[in-house]
Amino acid sequence: MLNIFYRENGKILLSQSEKDFSRITLQDTVWIDLVDPEGAEKRVVEAFLGTEIQSRAQAEEIESSSRYFESDDAIFANTNFLTPGPEEYQMQAVSFTIVDETLTTLREVPLRSFTELQRRMQVNPKQYPSGFSVFASILDQRVDLDADMIEILSKEISQYARRINEEEDIDQELLIDISQLQENTMVVRENVVDKQRLISNLMRSSKVPRNLETRLNVLLQDISSLINHTNFCFERLEYLQDTVLGLINLEQNKIMKVFTVVSVFLMPPTLIAGFYGMNVRLPMIAADQPNASFWNWIIILGIMAISCLVIWYVFKKKKML
């Protein structure tokens, strides 16, 4: 899909036909947005710009340190935009090319920041005099959306903290959920740092208009605060993870303590039962009196009960119960 935003009679108009390139000049074109383009559309745009546009595969293969570079007449930048999923975030590569203050973007999927900006461009055309201002607006929109995602992560972390404080469903599944939140937080932080690197490179470029310097500085400050926020979220998740592990260990220790106490309680009665179960004459057992079996059973049972009470008293005195 091809979207061409060009200036005419003080307005910014939209064209989706590649045939309009024959009547539009590069100086009048503000933004060319390619969304999952066909090969013919991409070649027409390249011929109009006079430079090659990087493909998605090329953008994904570029190392993070080489995502921004310049030629004599163009700026090439590559970055990733996050799209939220049901459990994890997905990275969508976006390529930016600026030639003579005309911005060209190449992406594979619809993105909310692009859609909102395209609507605002046609309503307030004076705010977007060049492709650089559109580029800055896209980054501004993206930083706002990243801030929203970090805020959502923070709320999810608070919910998990509340569950842990109330000791609700503290199990292996909770640890897995916290681990997934940690992964999402790292992905968001990586995405924000990528924007920080891109904006820093833009500010060092001699091709970028100086009137955008203040705006880019504000974006860098916003990104720094977002990085601090993601660091705090990650540290909080580590604390929650340690807390869950500690509670699980305490629960396991309680279970082992119960088994240990029951085993110790049963050891003396078992010893006594084994002793009096021997087929020999034993002390305290009357074998030649009426009802001897009944009283023998009572005596042995009493000895067992006394041994249990002694064990219980010792454990209680040692504060082990």
Residues 172 and 263 in one domain: no
Which band of pLDDT confidence, cut at 50, 70 and 90, is reported for residue 292?
low
Alpha carbons 58 and 95: distance in angstroms, whole number: 9
Residues 274 and 240 in one domain: no
Domain final residue pick, 249, 277, 306:
249
Cβ neighbours for 180, distance < 8 A, ≥ 6 positions apart: 87, 88
Residues 21-32 have pLDDT tens digits of 778 888 888 888
Residues 135 and 254 in one domain: no
Query: What separation in angstroms does the CA of 128 have from each of 70, 83, 102, 136, 139?
Result: 23, 26, 11, 10, 14
Q: What is the percent of the chain with per-residue pLDDT over 70, rounded to a whole number?
A: 87
Query: Could you give the 3-state DSSP secondary structure of residue 263?
Result: helix
CA 242 to mean position of chain CA atoms: 18
For the chain, the residue count is: 321
Residues 104 and 117 in one domain: yes
Instruction: Judge whether 247 and 164 are in contact, CB under 8 Å.
Output: yes
pLDDT surpassing 60 at residue 280: no
Mean pLDDT of the chain: 80
Residues 37 and 160 in one domain: yes
Residues 225 and 305 in one domain: no
**Amino acid sitting at position 72:** D
CATH code of residue 254:
1.20.58
Query: What separation in angstroms does the CA of 65 have from each of 198, 201, 203?
Result: 10, 11, 16
Neighbours of 184 (CB within 10 A): 23
Q: To the nearest 10°, the Cα dihedral for 291, 295, 296, 301?
A: 150
Residues 209 and 257 in one domain: no
CATH code of residue 211:
3.30.460.20
Three-class SS string for the chain? Answer: CEEEEEEECCEEEEECCHHHHHCCCCCCEEEEEEECCCHHHHHHHHHHHCCCCCCHHHHHHCCHHHCEEECCCEEEEEEEEEEECCCCEEEEEEEEEEECCEEEEEECCCCHHHHHHHHHHHHCHHHCCCHHHHHHHHHHHHHHHHHHHHHHHHHHHHHHHHHHHCCCCCCHHHHHHHHHHHHHHHHHHHHHHHHHHHHHHHHHCCCCCHHHHHHHHHHHHHHHHHHHHHHHHHHHHHHHHHHHHHHHHHHHHHHHHHHHHHHHHHHHHHHHHHHHCCCCCCCCCCCCCCCHHHHHHHHHHHHHHHHHHHHHHHHHHCCCC
Residues 239 and 259 in one domain: no
Counted domains in the chain: 2
Residues 216 and 264 in one domain: no
pLDDT surpassing 70 at residue 283: no
Query: Could you give the 3-state DSSP secondary structure of residue 101?
Result: coil
Residues 26 and 51 in one domain: yes
Domain final residue pick, 234, 249, 264:
249
Which band of pLDDT confidence, cut at 50, 70 and 90, is reported for residue 294?
low
Residues 113 and 128 in one domain: yes
pLDDT surpassing 70 at residue 129: yes
Domain final residue pick, 212, 231, 249:
249
Residues 243 and 271 in one domain: no
Which band of pLDDT confidence, cut at 50, 70 and 90, is reported for residue 282?
low
Q: To the nearest 10°, the Cα dihedral for 303, 306, 312, 315?
A: -80
pLDDT surpassing 80 at residue 45: yes
Q: Domain limits at 294?
A: 250-317
Residues 181-240 have pLDDT tens digits of 888 888 888 888 888 888 888 888 888 888 888 888 898 899 999 999 989 988 888 888
pTM for the model: 0.72
